[in-house]
Structure 1
Amino acid sequence: MSAISKRRERERAQRHQLIITTARELAEAEGWEAVTTRRLADRVEYSQPVLYSHFNGKDAIMSAVALEGFGELADRLRHARLAAPEPPQALHAVCRAYLEFASEQPALYQAMFVLPTDVKFGHAETPPALRAGFDEFVNCFRPDNPRRELFAEVTWSALHGMAVLSESGRIPPDRQPERLDFLVTQIAGSRHETSHHRS
């Protein structure tokens, strides 16, 4: 590849990332309904045809934002788990990190887990970063627990409900720590997690 081709490829990658970053910033500031290809083109100072040469519309941009978010969430959950000494503490740390991620970046969280998307969940085509994030929950449970993936799914489902219901004001946000303590106590204290024998 020539030096000119490399430079063009690098510039294209930078444009691609700028569009994703700008979409995230606009969504967090004004909500996803404010994110249009026209507004994005104005913000990044590219024509709409240039923007469409990267993404074929808003849905594709949201999917790209979600994929970026999956990678960031997986990293955050991994750091939380590795910083904790024992499985129950690791589970609590991972759950807390998940809820903090959701509350700090609600528009990003919406793109990842609430709004319609063509991202495949629980599928052979599931993005590696999404699977990596789920695996951080799985790794909080004992290796000899034959139902550790089920435990991870139920934990994630409960956290998602807590995050969405709290964000929308359906449940009081200030009781989130108490809910988290209850969830971890119930899950970590269940039979498969406290038994030292395979079932």
Structure 2
Amino acid sequence: MAIEDRRQRERDARRRLITATARTLAETEGWEAVTTRRLSTEIEYSQPVLYKHFGSMEDIVEAVAVEGFEELAETLRAARGDSRASGDELGRVAAAYSGFAAKNPALFDAMFIRSTRLHFAAEDTPAPLKEAFAELRAAVATIAGGRDVDTLTEVVWSALHGLVVLGRNGRLRPGHDTARIELLVTQLRAASA
């Protein structure tokens, strides 16, 4: 059994190397630079080795996205629990979401912009996606009042996502990201009063 455990650890390490390399390439050069040929060159494994771990580039992007949702969930959890920071729970979480997107643009693209087979609110939704949504939902619940928390969370998420994407693509005035998020949170809080 020890030999099989070692082999599994080696497979897991190669998977992590592939996804980490894909993510690094995407963050530095964009997702267009991430090809199986380029990955195999960067990690010094043949393309067939890549395909032993991932059936396609889409599978690699999905693995990166799932890792991103793990990180997003942790980021939102930390923001929610940081009572020393300014603002209420929803304000801290909204700012953390925006900051996460700004700090990790290629990762954010893998999670939300690129086409994947990852779906929310489905039987096969991976746990990290559920956890990230649950962290946002917990913050939204603090201002929901009598409103349906799940639907309100989807609306808040959509608004945050829209602000992030429009800002990143130069569709909104630069330098006003924080003010827009504060206005959104203020309006949501006022609607619950």
How does the TM-score come out when normalised to structure 1? 0.91
Question: 2 CA distance for matches of 1:160 and 1:81?
Answer: 18
1:30 alignment partner in structure 2: 29
Cα distance in 1 for residues equivalent to 2:54 and 2:179: 42
Does structure 2 retain, via aligned residues, the 8 Å contact 1:77–1:97? yes
Change in Cα spacing, 1:68 to 1:100, as seen in structure 2 (3 Å) is: same
What displacement does 1:179 show? 0.2
Q: Secondary structure of the equivalent of 1:15?
A: helix
| Helix, strand or coil at the partner of 2:118 | coil
Q: Structure 2 CA distance, aligned partners of 1:121 and 1:148? A: 16
Residue 144 of structure 1: how far off its partner (Å): 5.5
What are the equivalent positions in structure 2 for 1:38-187 lying under 5 Å apart? 38-84=37-83, 89-140=88-139, 141-142=141-142, 145-187=146-188
* Fraction of identical pairs, as percent: 47
Question: Which residue in the other structure is 2:17 paired with?
Answer: 18
Between the aligned partners of 1:145 and 1:76, the Cα distance in structure 2 is 27
The Cα of 1:108 is off from its aligned counterpart by 0.4
1:10 and 1:111 map into 2 onto residues whose CA distance is: 26
Counterpart-to-counterpart distance in 2, 1:94 and 1:84: 11
Asked whether the equivalents of residues 28 and 108 of structure 1 are also in contact (C-alpha less than 8 Å), the reply is yes
TM-score using structure 2 length: 0.93
Separation (CA, whole Å) in 1 of partners of 2:147 and 2:170: 37
Deviates more, 1:167-176 or 1:26-35: 167-176
Structure 1 CA distance for aligned equivalents of residues 156 and 32 of structure 2: 30
CA distance in 2, matches of 1:173, 1:18: 36
- State the Cα deviation string for residues 71-130 of structure 1 (Å, max 9, x = none): 100011011001137xx7100000000000001110000000111000012212111111
* Distance across 1 between alignment mates of 2:91 and 2:17: 35
Structure 1 residues not aligned, in runs of 5+: 195-199
User: How many residues in Structure 1 have an aligned counterpart in Structure 2?
Assistant: 190
Gaps of 5+ in 2: none
State the distance in 1 between where 2:132 and 2:27 align.
Answer: 22
C-alpha contact (below 8 Å) 1:28/1:107 kept by paired residues: yes
In the alignment, the residues of structure 1 paired with residue 146 and residue 68 of structure 2 have an alpha-carbon distance, to the nearest angstrom, of 29
Amino acid at match of 1:63: E
Q: CA RMSD in A?
A: 1.6
Structure 1 residue 146 displacement after superposition: 4.1
Does the aligned pair in 2 maintain the 1:167–1:173 contact within 8 Å? no
AA of the residue aligned to 2:76: L
